[in-house]
Structure 1
């Protein structure tokens, strides 16, 4: 990835709807160059897609829970698979170093939904979970510095 790729991505991180013509003009290249660069980055896996950034609370998902999971030895792949397959409330699964093996970020409409989720997740074998509720989102950004 070169400097032009970074400049293109910087513009798209500001607004993914920005016309290719605008990006091309800012960078002194053709629209075709911008299109080809994006196509190449998508093929390489650098660019995963263009999605809207939603306000989950406005959509009724007022509760964010961060769940820390310790997995019994030798069962990590099994537990990761179960979490991915069974629970649509999970937005993110991180495999981590340190005390916990996995960290989940989940969203719920209300405490009843969170409680039901905790009941279901506690039925999974070979793991123990600790749930923390987010009181305030101080910073949430969806872009990286390029």
Structure 2
């Protein structure tokens, strides 16, 4: 991947709906080679897909919670069961495996605090291997970007 590929990727991350003509003008390349590069980036898995970025508040899910999870015991079976279960829960938007005191960080969106309580009681408390949980509520969003640096 060279600087031109990175320029194409930054432009697509900023606006994935632009035409190849518009993209080629932004990156200083004619349309055919630009399209070829985009297709190569798709085939290589650098471009994993295209999606609409939906404002979760406007969608009706204004509450964002960061949930830190510690598992016990750390057996292969417990870890696999936890990760598979998390992957099936729609309210969990992101899940990261951590180094440190906690094992996972989950980003959760819900409509209200009451919905979060229900989510915790009906979904999270039933996950395998939970040793401890720590919820942090986001008061506001300072920055969210879909464009990678560089």
TM more than 0.5: yes
Length, aligned pairs only: 145
Shift in Å, 1:13: 2.1
Gaps of 5+ in 2: none
The TM-score normalised by the length of structure 2 is: 0.89
* Structure 2 partner of 1:78: 81
Shift in Å, 1:124: 2.4
The TM-score normalised by the length of structure 1 is: 0.91
- After superposition, the Cα gap between the structure-2 partners of 1:10 and 1:123, relative to the gap in structure 1 and judged at 3 Å, is closer
Partner Cα separation in structure 2 for residue 28 and residue 142 of structure 1 = 22
Q: Which secondary structure state, in structure 2, belongs to the residue aligned with residue 10 of structure 1? A: helix
1:122–1:129 CA contact under 8 A, matched in 2: no
Partner Cα separation in structure 2 for residue 60 and residue 16 of structure 1 = 24
1:12–1:18 CA contact under 8 A, matched in 2: yes
Shift in Å, 1:18: 2.0
- After superposition, the Cα gap between the structure-2 partners of 1:29 and 1:104, relative to the gap in structure 1 and judged at 3 Å, is same
Q: Equivalent of 1:134, from 134, 138, 142?
A: 138
- After superposition, the Cα gap between the structure-2 partners of 1:125 and 1:49, relative to the gap in structure 1 and judged at 3 Å, is closer
Does 1:11 find its partner at 2:19?
Answer: no
* Structure 2 partner of 1:104: 106
* Structure 2 partner of 1:123: 126
Q: Which secondary structure state, in structure 1, belongs to the residue aligned with residue 93 of structure 2? A: strand
Q: Which secondary structure state, in structure 2, belongs to the residue aligned with residue 49 of structure 1? A: coil
Shift in Å, 1:27: 3.6
Partner Cα separation in structure 2 for residue 115 and residue 40 of structure 1 = 46
Q: Which secondary structure state, in structure 1, belongs to the residue aligned with residue 99 of structure 2? A: coil
Gaps of 5+ in 1: none
Q: Equivalent of 1:90, from 71, 77, 92?
A: 92
Aligned pairs (5 A) from 1:26-65: 26-65=26-65
Shift in Å, 1:61: 0.6
Partner Cα separation in structure 2 for residue 92 and residue 60 of structure 1 = 18
